[in-house]
C-alpha cells in the first residue's frame, strides 16, 4: 500500500519533491495558499515593468496535470497535529504518513508595526504587481502636483542591500534613465532619487569584498544614493526616520531587509530558531518526529561547512528536496540513507544592463560576462520552455530597445 505524503508549499523545494518522489511508493498531496509556483529571483523585474507576471508564475495544476498520484489543494495550513499524523487546514483535516514542510519565508519587519503597515514587501508575484501599480500611479500623480509636494513622490526608498535590494535599485536606476523620461516628459527625473539603505557596512554583505565594492561602484555611478551602516527606525508612509538622525520624505518604501519563516502551529518551541526556521538533522528530519521533515528556506540544518545553517537560496531548496525524495524511497525499501551535503556552486547578483557580479568556487568576475552568466543560469531555472523563450525575447527586446511596453496599472477602480 502506498504511503501518504503531504507537502506544504509549492516553492522550489515543494516542486522538486513532487517531481522526485517515487509515484509507485507514495500518494502525494501538495498544499499551498496560492495556486501557482513563483520564481522569486525575478520578482524585481515584474516590479520594474521589465517582464510580465505570467512569465514567472506557473499554475501548480498545470505543472502536475500528468501526474495521477499527485493531488493539489488550495488551502492554508492552520496547525500540525503530530500525535494524530494529521494537519488542520481552512478546508478540513488531512491524514499523512509523512509530512514535509516547505512553507518558505516571509518578510521580516523586526516587530516594527509602522514599517509593516506602510512599506511594500517583495515576496510574491502579487507584491511585485502592487509595487508596479504604485510606482506608475505615483508618476501619474506627480504630473498634477505642485512643486512643494513632488519631493515625497519622487523619493524612492529601498531597504536592504542584499541581492533583491541591489537588483531593484539598479533596475529602477535604468528605467529612470532610459524609459521614464519618454513616458513622462512633464517630470524632471533629475529629481527622482533612489535611496538604498543597508544596516551593515556593505552592499551584498554575503559576497566577497571584491563583489561588494563592484556592486557599490556600479550603483553609485548609476545615481543611486547608497547609505550603509544605517537602519530605518520608523516609517509612517510619508517620512522615513533613520538611525543616523536623517529623515527622508517618501511615499514609497520597499522593504527587502530580511526574512522570517512562515511559522505553523503544532510544533514545540524548541523546534524553532529565533528567525522561525525549523531545526532539522542532516536527513532534513525534525528532532523527535520521525515522520516529519522540513526543507528549503524554512529548514535550519547545521553542518561543519554551515554551522549557522544554509543560505536561503533556490539551489539549497532544490537539492534538499531531491535528497529527501531519494532517502524516503530508500527508507521504505530498507536501504541505506545518506546525509545532505550542500555543494555551493557560487552566488551572483545583477545590478543592471551589462553589470553583474558572479562568484564561483574558484574564481570571481564582474561586468558583461557576469551579466550573461546571470541571465543564462536564471533562464535554466525557469520551469517551462515556453516561459524561457518569452523571458529571453523580453530581455533581448529590452536590451536592444532599452524599453519595454509592460507598464500597465492593473487595479480596480471600484470605490471602497
DSSP-based three-state secondary structure for 322: helix
pLDDT tops 70 at residue 222: yes
pLDDT in tens, 43-87: 999 999 999 999 999 999 999 998 888 999 999 999 999 999 999
Phi and psi of 7, rounded to 5°? -115, 125
Mean pLDDT of 191-214: 96
pLDDT in tens, 302-351: 999 999 999 999 999 999 999 999 999 999 999 999 999 998 888 999 99
pLDDT tops 80 at residue 412: no
pLDDT in tens, 161-189: 999 999 999 999 999 999 999 999 999 99
Give buried/exposed letters for 364-373 (b at 16+ CB in 10 A, else e).
bbbeeebbeb
The per-residue pLDDT for 405 is 67
Share of the chain above pLDDT 70, in %: 99
| Cβ contact 265:79 at 8 Å | yes
Confidence of residue 243 (pLDDT cuts 50, 70, 90): very high
DSSP-based three-state secondary structure for 13: helix
Q: Which domains does the chain have, with CATH numbers?
A: 3-33+75-107+259-332 (3.50.50.60), 113-257 (3.50.50.100)
Residue 123: in which H helix or E strand, if any? none
Residue with cell 493539489: 72
d(CA 280, CA 289): 10
The per-residue pLDDT for 415 is 55
Q: Over the chain, what is the mean pLDDT?
A: 94
The number of angstroms, rounded, from the C-alpha of 16 to the middle of its chain's C-alpha atoms is 17
The per-residue pLDDT for 408 is 83
Confidence of residue 414 (pLDDT cuts 50, 70, 90): low
The per-residue pLDDT for 375 is 94
C-alpha cell at 361: 568556487
DSSP-based three-state secondary structure for 328: helix
Determine the longest span between alpha carbons in the chain, in angstroms. 74
| Cβ contact 241:107 at 8 Å | no
pTM: 0.94
Mean pLDDT of 380-387: 88
pLDDT tops 90 at residue 365: yes
Residue of higher predicted confidence among 219 and 67: 219
Angle formed at CA 246 by CA 241 and CA 252, multiple of 5 degrees: 50
The per-residue pLDDT for 384 is 85
Q: Strand locations in 172-324, DSSP E?
A: 193-198, 225-228, 232-235, 239-242, 247-249, 252-255, 259-261, 278-280, 292-294, 299-301
| Cβ contact 166:203 at 8 Å | yes
Q: Strand locations in 201-246, DSSP E?
A: 225-228, 232-235, 239-242
d(CA 36, CA 19): 15
C-alpha cell at 219: 550603483
pLDDT in tens, 111-145: 999 999 999 999 999 999 999 999 999 999 999 98
Nearest in space to 374 (alpha carbons), one of 388, 390, 399, 357: 357
Paired residues of 226 in beta bridges: 196
DSSP states of 39-57 as a string?
-GGGHHHHHTTSS-GGGGE
Residue of higher predicted confidence among 266 and 381: 266
Amino acid at each position: 500500500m502506498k504511503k501518504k505524503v503531504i507537502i506544504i508549499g509549492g516553492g522550489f523545494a515543494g516542486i522538486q519533491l513532487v517531481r522526485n518522489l517515487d509515484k509507485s511508493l507514495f500518494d502525494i498531496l501538495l498544499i499551498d495558499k496560492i495556486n501557482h509556483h513563483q520564481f522569486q529571483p525575478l520578482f524585481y523585474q515584474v516590479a520594474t515593468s521589465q517582464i510580465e507576471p505570467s512569465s514567472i508564475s506557473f499554475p501548480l495544476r498545470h505543472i502536475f496535470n500528468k501526474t495521477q498520484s499527485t493531488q493539489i489543494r488550495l488551502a492554508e495550513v492552520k496547525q500540525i497535529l503530530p500525535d494524530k499524523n494529521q494537519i488542520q487546514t481552512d478546508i478540513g483535516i488531512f491524514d499523512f504518513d509523512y509530512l514535509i514542510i516547505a512553507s518558505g519565508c516571509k518578510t521580516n519587519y523586526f516587530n516594527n508595526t509602522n514599517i509593516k503597515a506602510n512599506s511594500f514587501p517583495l515576496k510574491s508575484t502579487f507584491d511585485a504587481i502592487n509595487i508596479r501599480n504604485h510606482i506608475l500611479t505615483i508618476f501619474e500623480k506627480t504630473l498634477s502636483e505642485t512643486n512643494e509636494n513632488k519631493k515625497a513622490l519622487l523619493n524612492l526608498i529601498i531597504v536592504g542591500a542584499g541581492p533583491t535590494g541591489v537588483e531593484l535599485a539598479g533596475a529602477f536606476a535604468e528605467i529612470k534613465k532610459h524609459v521614464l523620461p519618454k513616458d513622462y516628459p512633464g517630470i524632471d527625473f533629475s529629481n527622482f532619487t533612489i535611496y538604498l539603505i543597508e544596516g551593515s557596512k556593505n552592499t551584498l554583505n554575503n559576497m566577497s569584498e571584491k563583489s561588494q565594492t563592484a556592486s557599490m561602484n556600479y550603483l553609485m555611478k548609476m545615481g543611486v544614493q547608497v547609505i550603509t551602516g544605517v537602519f530605518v527606525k520608523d516609517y509612517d508612509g510619508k517620512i522615513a526616520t533613520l538611525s543616523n538622525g536623517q529623515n527622508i520624505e517618501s511615499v514609497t518604501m520597499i522593504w527587502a531587509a530580511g526574512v522570517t519563516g512562515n511559522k505553523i502551529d503544532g510544533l514545540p518551541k524548541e523546534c524553532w530558531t529565533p528567525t522561525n526556521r525549523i531545526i532539522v538533522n542532516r536527513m532534513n528530519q525534525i528532532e523527535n518526529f520521525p515522520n516529519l521533515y522540513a526543507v528549503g528556506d524554512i529548514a535550519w540544518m547545521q553542518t561543519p561547512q554551515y554551522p549557522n545553517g544554509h543560505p536561503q537560496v533556490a539551489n539549497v531548496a532544490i537539492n534538499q528536496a531531491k535528497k529527501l525524495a531519494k532517502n524516503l524511497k530508500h527508507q521504505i525499501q530498507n536501504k541505506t540513507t545518506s546525509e545532505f551535503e550542500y555543494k555551493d556552486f557560487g552566488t551572483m547578483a545583477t545590478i543592471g544592463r551589462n553589470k553583474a557580479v558572479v562568484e564561483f568556487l574558484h574564481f570571481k568576475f564582474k561586468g558583461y560576462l557576469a551579466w550573461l552568466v546571470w541571465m543564462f543560469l536564471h533562464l535554466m531555472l525557469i520551469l517551462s520552455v515556453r516561459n524561457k523563450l518569452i523571458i529571453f525575447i523580453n530581455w533581448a527586446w529590452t536590451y536592444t530597445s532599452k524599453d519595454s511596453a509592460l507598464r500597465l496599472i492593473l487595479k480596480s477602480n471600484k470605490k471602497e
